Amino acid sequence: MAVMRHPLVQAPVDPEKKTIVVLGSGWASTSFLKDIDTDQYNVVVVSPRNYFLFTPLLPSCTVGTVDVRSLVEPTRFVARHKSRDVKVYEAECTEIDPKKKVITIADNSEVKGQSAVSTLPYDYLVIGVGAMSQTFGIKGVEEYGCFLKEVWDAQKIRTKLMDCIETAAFPNQDPDEIDRLLHMVVVGGGPTGIEYAAELHDFLVEDLVRWYPELAGKVKITLVEALPNVLPAFSKQLIEYTESTFKEQNITIHTKTMVQEVREKEIMVKRPDGTTDNIPYGLLVWATGNTTRPVIRELMAKFPETQKVRRGLEVDDWLRLNGSEDIYALGDATATRYAPTAQVAAQQGKYLARLFHQLATREELESQIAESVSEEEKSKKERRLKKSRDIKPFQYSHQGSLCYVGSDKAVADLPFGAGNLATGGVATFAFWRSAYISNLFSTRNRSLVITDWLKKTFLGRDISRE
């Protein structure tokens, strides 16, 4: 515990070591940072945010079940516990020059000094910048919708939710306007959309009914999904369980329904029969998937022969960028056969740290062999070198899929033997909680989240609007 609060003295940057520049502070980059051996490399981290965010519990922050601060881990906390000094810059990478092996970074904060743009050289570049929310080019989404990927998204949703409720409680409000204000629409039937709708339902039945009894019965939750069913990555049994649970909770699900336009107070949708309809809303949460960031699209344009997939960077089985020898990419920034999940990104980060350890070991052995005097010593190191050159490709190990569906119930699709174990209910909710607690990055985060859950249970959620 003392080491956690008071990290040990770090070794200085070694100019003779190669430098790895890491872009991003999400699941992939933070997993890589935690496992990379800084005795072998100098490491620099560049990210627009100076913390890691535990995204699976972000829907809980939108209604006050969990506090946002409980889910963040400062990047410098991880960096300060490495053996060698790790430079951390809160900045956005605006350009990557693969020929000169230099990146351009810009200070994206509100407070700027005399220096707001700089360049950083690298020997190896690790790209883990994640992705942006996908709007599919639908008019009005960015202007009127609320995304759910970052801390500020959760804060914006919470503020707007309470604003809708307080405005509906204003004197002499028209009944139709009250119905619109209290209609919460979620677009996207994946885990994020499902969990937000579930958290919103819990907030309604556990807290709003006490403090806004005249309004609680008028709140409606609607989920819109373009595919034939919600949670497409889960088994049919769990899809049906989720849909029946939502029906019990009076959450309306519209599948095979495509959003065509988003307006200030309504969305225009295309129904399964081809007809169009307008759905009025007070709050619109958009949770439909990912698209690449501008810096990634610009990098792809510099490799026209090897980067031909629009949804992300193409990498080989060792996570190396196709067309480059010294750029690696992982997580949601890539286009692989794996789903864009935190589980995949975390495993890729750990794998890449091991790969770099093998690369450093190989270079060290090659140098030692060149300086070896005796044949016996040379032969021994050549055997070790041969072993270090055998770098196995990345293999994803699926640990299962979890999703909270409201009313203290969850669903889980877990690998079991040669098949899968599909389960749902209150017991699965207990497993869901324990799994998320064990995956939090620090004892501090675990303690804070458990405390938040206890506060919610005994004291209720905070209904104040910031």
pLDDT tens, position by position, 144-202: 999 999 999 999 999 999 999 999 999 999 999 999 999 999 999 999 999 999 999 99
Distance, in Å, from the CA atom of 224 to the CA atom of 251, rounded to the nearest integer, reads 11
Give the tens place of pLDDT for each residue, 28-38.
999 999 999 99
Q: How many CB atoms lie within 10 A of CB 322?
A: 16
Q: Max Cα separation, the chain? A: 94
Please determine, for residue 444, whether its predicted confidence score (pLDDT) is greater than 80. Answer: yes
Please determine, for residue 336, whether its predicted confidence score (pLDDT) is greater than 60. Answer: yes
Which of 289, 150, 137 is CA-nearest to residue 226? Answer: 289
Structure tokens given for 439: 């995956």
Please compute the mean of the pLDDT values over residues 307-312 and round it to a whole number: 93
Position 165 scores a pLDDT of 96
Please compute the mean of the pLDDT values over residues 59-64 and round it to a whole number: 96
pTM of the model as a whole: 0.94
Which of 202, 235, 230, 205 is CA-nearest to residue 217? Answer: 205
Position 63 scores a pLDDT of 96
Which of 354, 290, 292 is CA-nearest to residue 319? Answer: 354
Distance, in Å, from the CA atom of 63 to the CA atom of 199, rounded to the nearest integer, reads 7
pLDDT category, 3, cuts 50, 70, 90?
low
The continuous run of DSSP H or E covering 203 comes out as helix 191-203
Please, what is the average pLDDT of the chain? 94
Give the tens place of pLDDT for each residue, 417-440.
878 899 999 999 999 999 999 999
Please compute the mean of the pLDDT values over residues 355-363 and round it to a whole number: 92
pLDDT category, 373, cuts 50, 70, 90?
low
Distance, in Å, from the CA atom of 275 to the CA atom of 339, rounded to the nearest integer, reads 32
Under 8 Å between Cβ of 352 and 330: yes
C-alpha angle 425-428-433 in degrees, rounded to nearest 5: 130
Give the tens place of pLDDT for each residue, 244-288.
999 999 999 999 999 999 999 999 999 999 999 999 999 999 999
Q: How many CB atoms lie within 10 A of CB 218?
A: 14
Give the tens place of pLDDT for each residue, 383-409.
777 777 788 999 999 999 999 999 999
Position 363 scores a pLDDT of 86
Residue 18, SS3 per DSSP: coil
Cα first-last separation, the chain: 34
Which of 198, 185, 154, 189 is CA-nearest to residue 55? Answer: 154
Position 389 scores a pLDDT of 78
Give the tens place of pLDDT for each residue, 93-142.
999 999 999 999 999 899 989 999 999 999 999 999 999 999 999 999 99
Position 396 scores a pLDDT of 96
Position 466 scores a pLDDT of 66
Give the tens place of pLDDT for each residue, 10-25.
999 999 999 999 999 9
pLDDT category, 4, cuts 50, 70, 90?
low
Q: Residue 335, by phi and psi: left (phi above 0), alpha (psi -120 to 50) or beta? A: beta
